[in-house]
Amino acid sequence: MEDFVTGCTHFGHRAIAFHANRVPWIYKNSNYDPSKPFNFKNNNPKVVDVAEHDEALRDNWNSMVGRKDRIFILGDFAWKDHLKYILSLNGQKIFVTGNHDKMAQKVLSHFKEVHEIGCRKRVQKQDVTFSHYAMRSWASSCHGAWMIYSHSHGRMPEFENMFSCDAGVDVWGYAPAPWTAIVEKMKIVQNNIDRAGGKFVDGEFSAKGIYAKDPEQRKLETRAKNEKIMMSLGFPYNEKMWPTT
C-alpha cells in the first residue's frame, strides 16, 4: 500500500478552472462577442472544457493511485455529482472537508473516513496534521510535526524552514502527490533548518503579505519545485501536467 495526498480537485467546477488558471483546459471562446458587455458565464472571451478537465484529473489520479492505496483528500473535491467522481477514482479515500463540499451523508459514506476541518494522523511514523486550510501553528509543530493543506491553489508561500506544504493539484501536476515526494520536500526543509543552525518557523510569523503580489508567479514557483522532486523520483513527465504558464 502506498500513500498519497491531494486537494482542490474541483471536479465539474468551471469557475475554479478560471480562478486557478488551469491553462490546459482554457480555450478561446468562438462565441464571444466583444461588442456586448462582458459576462462571466454568457459572454466570456475564454471557455473551460470541463469534461476534458475532469477526465484529465481522473486519469492522472488513477494512473498513480492503486485501488488499495490510501489517499488523503484535503477538501473541495467536486462541485456536483460527487458520487460519480468518488466511484471513478482509485484508492482508500480519507476525506477532509473544504468550503465547497456539500454532500449528503449517503454520499459521504463512500469515503473510508470523513473529517471536519482537519485530522491528525501518523503516516509512515511521521506525525502529520491534514487540513483544507493552511495553519500558522498545529499540533506538535514545535516538535517537527508536519502540516499539509490545500485551499490556496499554490498562492500561499511555502517557507523554506517550515514543515508545511500545499498538496493541491495546481502545484502537483494536476495529480495526487505521492507521499515519497512529500517526504523529499520535507527533507529539503530539514536541510534548510540544519544550515540555519536548527532554527525553524513554528507559525510565529506575521500574516501581513502572506499572499504574493503576483499569486500566479507564486503558484508557478511552487509547481516548479514539485516538478523537480517528481522528476528526481522517476515519475513520468507529462508536459500538459506541468504547464509553465
Q: What is the pLDDT of residues 150-205, one digit of tens each?
A: 999 988 888 888 899 999 999 999 999 999 999 999 999 888 888 877 665 544 33
C-alpha cell at 123: 503516516
Whether 221 has a pLDDT exceeding 90, the answer reads no
Q: What pLDDT shows up at residue 208? A: 35
Q: What is the pLDDT of residue 227?
A: 86
Q: Specify the residue for cell string 483546459.
A: 25
- Domains belonging to the chain, first-starting first, are 3-32+42-232 (3.60.21.10)
Checking if the pLDDT of 62 tops 80, the result is: yes
> For the whole model, what pTM was predicted?
0.84
Q: What percent of the chain has pLDDT over 90?
A: 64
Specify whether the CB–CB gap between 159 and 222 falls below 8 A.
no
pLDDT value for 209 = 40
6-32 tens-digit pLDDT:
999 999 999 999 989 999 999 999 999
